[in-house]
Chains A and B, each alone.
Chain A
Amino acid sequence: AQSVSQHNHHVILSEAASLELGCNYSYGGTVNLFWYVQYPGQHLQLLLKYFSGDPLVKGIKGFEAEFIKSKFSFNLRKPSVQWSDTAEYFCAVSPPGTYKYIFGTGTRLKVLA
């Protein structure tokens, strides 16, 4: 069955530390990849997405993600986190042209001021 794994369930960092959240998926074909973020008290919103082309994708608020096809990974990165990045982050996968949309279990990030 298709699945998305986010291995880090909780991450605690100090401000200015670098961030990398892992996301691995199991699906043999082409996929579209997404990262969503849910800030405390707010609704889920799209952070960035990959459809094709450059495997390094830049999103909002200084986040980026790299698609590595050989590793079935789409890790999220930020060079220097801020207190305001405290949120829950979800990776998601969707095979193109289908209605299938598979979310990972999420990673809760806490950034200490």
Chain B
Amino acid sequence: DVKVTQSSRYLVKRTGEKVFLECVQDMDHENMFWYRQDPGLGLRLIYFSYDVKMKEKGDIPEGYSVSREKKERFSLILESASTNQTSMYLCASVTPPGTAFEQYFGPGTRLTVT
């Protein structure tokens, strides 16, 4: 069974703080994705990574950056948190696109920026 863990379930940060969200998967997948989930908007892709040190912007990368130093770990960074980044953040570990391309999601981190 694929296991995807995220460092925190709930996080409260102040405006302007730098925020790190960590995601770890144990299935040796090359592909990992970060989404934010907001009511009525579904899941929106922030960034994805298809290999160590490789990353691509998703649909809403502004205000975020990512780091992939090891295959199993994909970090999302909010350089200077703002209230409009209050959201649920989901990490996914993904099988290759030529195969089933299934996404295995972590439990999510609910971030509140005050």
Contacts and interface: CB of A to CB of B under 8 A. Distances in A.
Given A94-B101, A96-B101, 8 more contacts: A43-B107, A45-B105, A46-B103, A99-B31, A99-B48, A101-B45, A101-B94, A106-B42
Interface in B81-110: 90, 92, 94, 97-98, 100-103, 105-108
A50 B41 CA distance: 24
A40 B44 CA distance: 20
A73 interface: no
A94 B97 contact: yes
Contact of B42 (A45, A97, A104): A104
Contacts of B102: 34, 46, 49
Contacts of A103: 35, 42-44
A99 B97 contact: yes
Contacts of B105: 43-45
Interface size class of A (residues with CB under 8 A): 20 to 34
Contact of A96 (B31, B33, B97, B108): B97
B98 A97 contact: yes
B20 interface: no
B103 A32 contact: no
Contact of B41 (A46, A49, A51, A105): A105
Given A9-B40, A43-B108, A99 B56 contact: yes
Interface of B: 4, 31, 33, 35, 40-45, 48, 50, 56, 90, 92, 94, 97-98, 100-103, 105-108
Nearest to B44: A103
A98 interface: yes
A98 B103 contact: no
Contact of B106 (A36, A43, A101): A43
26 contacts: A9-B40, A34-B102, A43-B105, A43-B106, A43-B108, A44-B90, A44-B92, A44-B105, A45-B105, A51-B100, A90-B42, A90-B43, A96-B98, A96-B101, A99-B48, A99-B50, A99-B97, A101-B45, A101-B103, A103-B35, A103-B42, A103-B43, A103-B44, A104-B42, A105-B41, A106-B42
